[in-house]
Chains A and B, each alone.
Chain A
């Protein structure tokens, strides 16, 4: 949110006709300029941006620093390519334009797009750099287009002369598949001096990087709150369902003294749930298990009751929740269907559902992140098969009473 007046120096020399940046060097530059103007004005509404061209008939200021984005975009339209770039004069005119800015409180910054070869001497550039530093003007250099050793060296020495406490930057953009603006978005030119950048830059970066952002689910809550919310809700339901399944398994196997198994169940369910909790210790999960046993049982009972489609059970089944879940999660719907199809009998056949290995393995297979070949899962399936029915019925009935 730094209050800044920026002058952008555009290179519209003959070298910009080249097509090694798509669609042409000049177009790529124009896109980058539009993006920068947007970012600057958005990060602080009092920021001003001006534009000048360095080639053509001579250095010419197109727009003096203004916060009106429309004016800037309009002047970029209809620019002609030709002539030779005069870097030194361009920077000096930019400095003069900044000197006469209306709001003296603004910091001064010049952004230079250097596409064509630099014909000035290194010493002269260094002198210009020192003068900029003396008047506390920051300079950002975008080195693209023509690529030769001398040019890079000269621009680096210019940057070294100007740089005061890392306020100035240089970016080298080689020709390639990435657009010039995309490359620039992630640089300090856009993101400011270590402040973390504006929302505009961050959002644009998220879009450009294709979802590799710091947000959960790769969707920016600012850009699409409904989608982000839907994803989050569906994730919670998935997690609850998997925890319910895991806890039930844990509950079943714990009677056999299978603490270890329960632990591994927790571990596999943790892995299956794609959350940050994957790094949490299993002991924590077990503690949670004992603490939340009642809640989980309740959820579990509801889940099973729904799959049974038995109104006589008398639980307070939350129809809306389950129906939403089934709508959102086709896998859950499939699981429910399988369960219902398999057991049209009485309540006690809850255990049959679990004992039906094929159904269970289908359900487990549909759970993301669960590998049927995982030994702990194999153990679970085996144990569920071998479990005696009465024991299970007792478990179920006791947990029923708990719930009631």
Chain B
């Protein structure tokens, strides 16, 4: 499901649309099967730099085109569409599968699990292709994992840019960290202030 970017960019500012990269928690971004650890962070940049292939890019290991990219956000976001700029000579990824709000997915999980959405990608050297999402499913995304199982025949898979279009909400999807479960309530654990001879009552 691809749609063409069928207007010239001088009319409106495309880069503001593709600004979800600002809400990515870059420190926690990770990738599996990347040749050099840490290069995955370089694919998240502004729209203007999407065709800039001179700097660092994400590359998979020799002879293995699979890539798995884990992208956490600093707040919940709604993702409207995704754009991928791959490498030349068959090193562009050919398929993309997305998983939402799942932590710690690895390749065996990715291969066996049902993705929330899958796309067939085309070689997007000009960076004009964007792939729309089923928006209703991408409403409150705390993190997204992108799995690229295959490429166009190259030895490795190269990705220069991953763009996300959508909106950021200010909400944070927080997992309740410390809960104490009680099988049987014990009154001594729940002393009220009056019992402890407490102080002044006050309204907060």
For the complex, give the distance between the alpha carbons of A135 and B107 in Å. Answer: 7
Chain A residues with a Cβ closer than 8 Å to the other chain, count = 9
Chain A residues contacting B106 (CB-CB under 8 Å) are 99, 135
Does any Cβ of A come within 8 Å of B55's Cβ?
no
Chain B residues contacting A165 (CB-CB under 8 Å) are 36-37
Interface positions of B (Cβ within 8 A of A): 32-33, 36-37, 61, 64, 66, 103-104, 106-108
Give B63's nearest chain A residue, CB to CB.
Answer: A130
Main secondary structure of the interface of A (DSSP, over half): loop
Among A104, A130, A133, A164, contact of B104 (Cβ-Cβ < 8 Å): A104
- Check B33 against A134 for contact (C-beta < 8 Å): yes
Does any Cβ of B come within 8 Å of A136's Cβ?
yes
Give B103's nearest chain A residue, CB to CB.
Answer: A104
- Check B32 against A136 for contact (C-beta < 8 Å): yes
Contact with B along A131-146 (1 / 0, CB 8 A): 0011110000000000
Chain A residues contacting B108 (CB-CB under 8 Å) are 99
Chain B residues contacting A134 (CB-CB under 8 Å) are 32-33, 61, 64, 66, 107
Closest 7 A-B residue pairs measured CB to CB?
Answer: A104-B104, A134-B33, A135-B106, A104-B103, A136-B32, A165-B37, A135-B32
Interface positions of A (Cβ within 8 A of B): 99, 104, 130, 133-136, 164-165
Chain B residues contacting A164 (CB-CB under 8 Å) are 37
Give B109's nearest chain A residue, CB to CB.
Answer: A99
Minimum CB–CB distance from B136 to chain A (whole Å) comes to 28
Minimum CB–CB distance from B35 to chain A (whole Å) comes to 9
For the complex, give the distance between the alpha carbons of A133 and B34 in Å. Answer: 10
For the complex, give the distance between the alpha carbons of A251 and B86 in Å. Answer: 81
For the complex, give the distance between the alpha carbons of A99 and B107 in Å. Answer: 11
11 additional A-B pairs beyond A99-B108, A135-B32, beta carbons within 8 Å, are A99-B106, A104-B103, A130-B61, A130-B64, A133-B33, A134-B32, A134-B33, A134-B61, A134-B66, A135-B106, A136-B32
Minimum CB–CB distance from B64 to chain A (whole Å) comes to 7
For the complex, give the distance between the alpha carbons of A135 and B66 in Å. Answer: 11
Give B38's nearest chain A residue, CB to CB.
Answer: A165
Minimum CB–CB distance from A7 to chain B (whole Å) comes to 15
Chain B residues contacting A99 (CB-CB under 8 Å) are 106, 108
Give B105's nearest chain A residue, CB to CB.
Answer: A104
